[in-house]
Amino acid sequence: MAAAAEAAAGGGPGSQPAAQRRLRIISGHLRGSPASRAPEAERLLSPSQCRAGGAAERPVASTIPKKRQEILKWNGWGYNDSKFIFNKKGQAEFTGKRYRLSGMVLPVLKEWMEKSLGASLEHKITSRAFLNTSDVPPSIVNEEFLQDLRATKISYSQEAEDRVFRAHGHCLHEIFVLREGMFKRIPDIVVWPGCHDDVVKIVELACKHNLCIIPFGGGTSVSSALECPADERRTIVSLDTSQMNRILWIDEKNLTAHIEAGIIGQDLERQLGESGYCTGHEPDSMEFSSLGGWVATRASGMKKNIYGNIEDLVVHIKMVTPRGVIEKSCQVPRMSTGPDIHHFIMGSEGTLGVVTEVTIKIRPIPEYQKYGSVVFPNFDRGVACLREIAKQRCAPASIRLVDNAQFQFGHALKPQVASIFTSFLDGLKKFYITKFKGFDPNELCVATLLFEGDREKVLQHEKQVYDIAAKFGYDFQGILFLICSVC
User: Has 273 been labeled as part of a binding site?
Assistant: no
In sequence order, the 6+-apart residues with CB closer than 8 A to the CB of 195 are 45, 47, 49, 50, 51, 52, 244, 260, 356
User: Has 322 been labeled as part of a binding site?
Assistant: no
User: Has 256 been labeled as part of a binding site?
Assistant: no
User: Has 215 been labeled as part of a binding site?
Assistant: yes
User: Has 351 been labeled as part of a binding site?
Assistant: yes
User: Has 436 been labeled as part of a binding site?
Assistant: no
User: Has 46 been labeled as part of a binding site?
Assistant: no
Rg (CA), the chain: 27
User: Has 217 been labeled as part of a binding site?
Assistant: yes
User: Has 298 been labeled as part of a binding site?
Assistant: yes
Backbone angles phi, psi at 47, to 5 degrees: -55, -30
User: Has 152 been labeled as part of a binding site?
Assistant: no
Please tell me whether residue 250 adopts helix, strand or coil conformation: strand
Find the angle CA(38)-CA(43)-CA(44) to the nearest 5 degrees.
Answer: 80
Residue 403, CA distances (Å) to 145, 377, 378 in order: 53, 11, 8
User: Has 292 been labeled as part of a binding site?
Assistant: no
User: Has 220 been labeled as part of a binding site?
Assistant: yes
Find the angle CA(339)-CA(3)-CA(29) to the nearest 5 degrees.
Answer: 20
**CA atoms in the 13 A half-sphere facing the CB of 275:** 17
DSSP string, 59-110: ----SS-SSGGGTB-SSSSSBTT--EEE-TTS-EEE-SSSSTTTT-EETTHH
User: Has 356 been labeled as part of a binding site?
Assistant: no
User: Has 355 been labeled as part of a binding site?
Assistant: yes
Do residues 292 and 355 make contact, with C-beta atoms less than 8 angstroms apart? yes
User: Has 450 been labeled as part of a binding site?
Assistant: no
Q: Which residues are annotated as a binding site for FAD?
A: 215-221, 297-300, 349-355
Q: Which residues are annotated as a binding site?
A: 215-221, 297-300, 349-355
